[in-house]
Structure formats: structure tokens, C-alpha cells
Amino acid sequence: MSRIGKLPIQVPAGVDVTIDGRTVAVKGPKGLLTHTVAAPIEIVKGEDGVLNVTRPNDERQNKALHGLSRTLVANMITGVTQGYAKALEISGVGYRVAAKGSDLEFQLGYSHPILVTAPDGISFKVESPTKFSVEGIDKQKVGEVAANIRKLRKPDPYKAKGVKYAGEVIRRKVGKAGK
């Protein structure tokens, strides 16, 4: 991971990075994100809008934290400039999604509809009754909300019914062989 950690982070115009001890705050056109960097790792703000992540020595844990810290800060910068989105699809007879204000209401074959509320910083966009996306500036939170929604009805390996990521290939199983 240290090869990734050695790469400098370019800060685009319109993004303000504030380093206060171990806390890094990134403010951009889409919002504000903060992150506390792990103990041995240092983030140095250089001239001409470049951030460098350094580690004190070559211990195994410090190498891993070096690459992790650099990637997390780079993801924060991408999040406040472009944002992140995770597209999901629903397949199955009668399975659908509908927007209820800022929340989503799912019909997934259960006896009741399932209501998913949007956490802070997350928004939902419904393209059709079977396609929707989770959007936000925090990559980790977007992925977590999308995974929790997918968990409501995982794709079935026999009929491929359920909630899946867009482009995800579901490995199908052959049913029981009859006589």
C-alpha cells in the first residue's frame, strides 16, 4: 500500500483543505467532509495545492495506514467535487421501488412494504420502478446504504430475483433434476 501512499494528492480549484492536528477537513461545492488520520501518519499541505501523506518508518502497519490514509483523503476530495453514486436494479415479478419524499418504499415479495429512510448526506434517485441509485459525497456511506438495501432481498441464485447492483452478474444454479 505504500506505493499508493507516496502519490501526491492534487487539490482542484474550489476545494478548501484544512489540516488541524490529526483532523483533515475538505470543503467543496457539494459539501464538507472531515476525517481523523491514524496516529503515526502525517499529512502535509504543500505549495500549489498538493497534499503529501508521510509515515515515520517502514513498519508493516504504518505502510498499510499510509496507503489507506492517502486514499481516504483523495476520496473525500472526489466526493466534495463530483460525489458518488451506486446504481441498483430490482428483478422479479411484483418487485418494485417508489420514492416517498426523500425515502424509498420497496415491494419485495414480503407481506408488507419496506420503507428505507435516507441518512444525512444521502439521497435517492428513482429512474424507474426497477432502477434506482444511492447518491452522496461520502463514498463509505453511499456503499453502506446500498449494501443494506441489497440485503433486504439478496438475488436468488435459482431465479435471480432480488435487489442487485447495476452490472452485477448473478451466478445461476441449476434446479433439482426430476425423474
CATH of the domain at 160: 3.90.930.12
Q: What is the pLDDT of residues 76-107, one digit of tens each?
A: 999 999 999 999 999 999 999 999 999 999 99
CB 121 within 8 A of CB 136: yes
pLDDT at 2: 63
pLDDT at 12: 92
pLDDT at 92: 92
Q: What is the pLDDT of residues 121-157, one digit of tens each?
A: 999 999 999 999 999 999 999 999 999 999 999 999 9
pLDDT at 1 over 50: no
Q: CA 12 to CA 88: how far, in whole Å? A: 30
Q: What is the pLDDT of residues 46-75, one digit of tens each?
A: 888 899 999 999 898 998 899 999 999 999
Whether residues 43 and 18 fall in one domain: yes
Beta sheet of 122-128, edge-to-edge order: 122-128, 131-136, 84-91, 162-165
pTM given for the model: 0.89
Instruction: Confirm whether 34 is domain-assigned.
Output: yes
Q: CA 131 to CA 116: how far, in whole Å? A: 15
Q: What is the mean pLDDT of residues 16-36?
A: 94
Strands 122-128 and 131-136: antiparallel
Q: Which residues constitute the domain of residue 116?
A: 84-165
Whether residues 55 and 94 fall in one domain: no
Q: CA 112 to CA 152: how far, in whole Å? A: 12
Q: What is the mean pLDDT of residues 117-122?
A: 94
Amino acid at 170: I
